[in-house]
A = this chain, B = another copy of it.
Amino acid sequence: MCELLGMSANVPTDICFSFSGLVKRGGETGPHKDGWGITFYEGKGCRSFKDPNPSCDSRVAQLVKEYPIKSKSVISHIRQANRGGVNLENTHPFIRELWGQNWTYAHNGQLTDYENLPLGRAHPVGQTDSELAFCWIINKLHQNYPTVPDDMLTVFKDIAGYADELRKLGVFNMLLSNGEYVMAYCTNNLHWLTRRAPFGKAQLIDEDMTVDFCTETSDSDVVTVIATRPLTSDEQWNKMQAGEFCVFHFGERVL
């Protein structure tokens, strides 16, 4: 299994605090030692930092913890390998361009009988069930919408339907983003919370670290964090239900 972390915000926000908690689970407070990755959107562009080494002692993870890259949409993943070797091509998040947009995806769980999911436009580079399922989703979207769709609502319903199909093959917890929307699908383990004014303090579970969001934010900020397991001990996290699909648009839940 793996751990997912996502963020959706209405102002460019750094994820240093949450990421600090996550990376500890990458080989120190958690067993997820088989690589990690994080993708930050800045406008339509995005950049990823990835490492097939454990996040808890990764030089690149150290940079990401300390260097406050501000973004409205973030997808991150730390890996405990089940399908596919420990190497860079199997390290999440995975990205494909669709409709002139960067689509970023990370998966927690394990699928069986996924090998025959039909492919088309997108093909996996690595050997994971996760990337193959992502390519299948991209191909389905491209089949249904050869050009950029006007109505994203029908796209979300389709994605939820594809995720339901994948859940029939095993455990499928997913984060997906096109930079504007951050989507989350739950089979068994996914939590989220939205921080907004009045902001308070929060204490990380995995590290002796507290942040006072009051000093870091302005009153109009809305920041949603999505994680496999709650990252803080003193905030109310919403546990997603099996088969539940959430869509966040710049911090606010819209579906």
Q: Is the CB of A101 within 8 A of B88?
A: no
On chain B, the residues within 8 Å of A97 by CB distance are 96, 122-123, 125
Known interface pairs A63-B60, A67-B60. Does A43 touch B100 (Cβ–Cβ under 8 Å)? no
Q: How far is the CA of A51 from the CA of B59 in the complex (A)?
A: 18
Q: Is the CB of B101 within 8 A of A43?
A: no
A203 within 8 A of partner (CB) = no
User: Could you tell me the distance in whole angstroms from the C-beta of A35 to the nearest C-beta in chain B?
Assistant: 10
Q: Which of A27-63 contact B (CB under 8 A)?
A: 42-52, 59-60, 63
Chain A, 193-215, contact with B by CB distance < 8 Å: what is the 0/1 string? 00000000000000000000000
Q: What are 24 contact pairs spanning A and B, CB under 8 A?
A: A42-B52, A42-B87, A43-B89, A44-B89, A44-B125, A45-B52, A45-B87, A45-B89, A45-B90, A45-B91, A45-B125, A45-B126, A47-B48, A47-B50, A47-B88, A49-B49, A59-B63, A59-B67, A60-B67, A63-B63, A95-B95, A97-B125, A100-B124, A100-B125
